[in-house]
Amino acid sequence: MADLEKKAKEAFIDDHFELAVDLYTQAIALDPTNPDLFADRAQANIKLNKFTEAVADASKAIELDASLAKAYLRKGIACMKVGKYQNAKAALEAGTSLVPGESRFTNLIKECDELIAEETGESKNHAADAQVNTVSRKDAVPEDTSTQAPLVIPSKPKYRHEFYQKPEEVVVSIFAKGIQASWVTVGFGEQTLSVSVEVPGEDGYHFQPRLFGKIKPDECKYNILSTKVEFRLAKAEPGLHWASLEYNKQTAVVQRIAVSSEIAQKPTYPSSKPKRVDWDKMEAQVKKEEKEEKLDGDAALNSFFRGIYQDADEDTRRAMKKSFVESNGTVLSTNWKEVGTKKVEGSPPDGMEMRKWEY
């Protein structure tokens, strides 16, 4: 398990995030109560823009160890990415209580406060507008409602959906648990997405929006997961920013994103809010922490001898292998002339396990 964890960290540092997730998953299968594995897989999922999975991993890490500060940090970042600022702030405040004064927590909490304030301000403006409209109608001539049709209140959708986007694609998620592939019918048009979910014994669900922009139907795909159905819509015009998922006249103004090789893989969100977190700086800091992580005990010893083996010539490596195997792990020699012509005997125990290292 330790070897899998080490390889996963190396993959993350080398920006091989999918490999890192796979290795952490294998390690978790062997040690499902290790909170560090879940917290580190959450970080790799954040790099892959899999924020829902990152929140789940960070929450599991916190469940296993409520004192693990990095789990709160990664839950906060993932929640911010999907616009859940209240949840993000709660996680970050819990984390900063464990490491008072840590700048990463305090900076993100400050940003959460600003984003929450912006959202609250928008809500207050809508409420004020509604109140003004109500007052202004007091003096208006009452309408004759005797011939009007009864008001029909639209029912709440059966499943919730949300989306985020990258310069080259839009990712739509419909949150429906336990859906089978045979229940789902999907169609992609030039500017439409058609989804029908027919669960036996229940009312059907139909989602057929006219999309904000055009897509490439042949390059679109979807995947049915345990908690949701995810759709990846290939933009017909990469770099075109979708102000909303569905087309309407108010948001039909074309906005383009400057696409460069440096930012091509970073997601953008349907918001005009300025970016306040230096993610690249945060990533560099995480990498530095991973590289500077100190080992102790057997882990340090094993790391030391791996270094010798990696830098050794062929005869030295042969000597190390032969002595270690034949002595059942109690003797390690780098002298091929000495061990190459005879069997290496193990070092006898003396009240406790003894190790003899020869150079």
Q: Which domain holds residue 96?
A: 1-118
**Does residue 177 form part of some domain?**
yes
Task: List pLDDT tens digits, range 153-169.
Answer: 445 568 899 999 999 99
**Backbone Cα Rg of the chain:** 29
What confidence tier does 279 reach under pLDDT thresholds 50, 70, 90?
low
Question: Contact, 5 vs 24, CB < 8 A?
Answer: yes
- Min mean pLDDT across 31-35, 209-213, 277-281 is at 277-281
Q: How many CA atoms lie within 13 A of 266 on its CB side?
A: 11
Looking up residue 3, the CATH number of its domain turns out to be 1.25.40.10
**Residue 51 in domain:** yes
Residue 287 belongs to a domain: no
Domain co-membership, 63 together with 9: yes
Quick one: pLDDT at residue 127? 53
Residue pLDDT, tens place only, 61-114:
999 999 999 999 999 999 999 888 899 999 999 998 898 888 889 899 999 998
Looking at residue 206, which CATH number applies to its domain? 2.60.40.790
59 and 3 together in one domain: yes
Pair 101, 181 in one domain = no
Which domain-ending residue is among 234, 254, 271? Answer: 234
Give the per-residue pLDDT at 352. Answer: 37
Q: What is the pLDDT of residue 356?
A: 41
Same structural domain, 96 and 206 = no
What is the structure's pLDDT at 293?
55
Residues 24 and 90 in one domain: yes
Show which of 212, 234, 256 is a domain's final residue: 234
Report the mean per-residue pLDDT for the chain: 79
Structural domain contains residue 294: no
Asked if residues 91 and 82 have their Cβ atoms less than 8 Å apart, the reply is no
Q: What is the 3-state secondary structure (H, E, C) of the chain?
A: CHHHHHHHHHHHHCCCHHHHHHHHHHHHHHCCCCHHHHHHHHHHHHHCCCHHHHHHHHHHHHHHCCCCHHHHHHHHHHHHHCCCHHHHHHHHHHHHCCCCCCHHHHHHHHHHHHHHHHHHHHHHHHHHHHHHHHHHCCCCCCCCCCCCCCCCCCCCCCCEEEEEECCCEEEEEEECCCCCHHHEEEEECCCEEEEEECCCCCCCEEECCEECCCECHHHCEEEECCCCEEEEEEECCCCEECCCCECCHHHCCCEECCCCCCCCCCCECCCCCCCCCCHHHHHHHHHHHHHCCCCCHHHHHHHHHHHHHHHCCHHHHHHHHHHHHHCCCCEECCCHHHHCCCCCCCCCCCCCCCCEECC
Q: Is residue 256 part of a domain?
A: no
Final residue of a domain: which of 181, 203, 234? Answer: 234
Residues 87, 27 share a domain:
yes
If asked whether residues 311 and 213 sit together in one domain, one would say: no
Same-domain check for residues 100 and 171: no
Say yes or no: 88 and 171 in one domain: no
pTM given for the model? 0.38
In this structure, the answer to whether residues 196 and 113 fall within a common structural domain is no
Q: Is residue 138 part of a domain?
A: no
Measured distance CA(343)–CA(345) in Å, rounded: 6
Q: What is the C-alpha to C-alpha distance for residues 11 and 85, in angstroms, rounded to an integer?
A: 30
Provide the number of structural domains found in the chain.
3
Same structural domain, 45 and 106: yes
> Do 26 and 97 fall into the same domain?
yes
Question: Is residue 220 a contact partner of residue 257, using CB atoms and an 8 Å limit?
Answer: no
- Is 282 domain-assigned? no
Q: Assess if residue 113 is contained within a domain.
A: yes
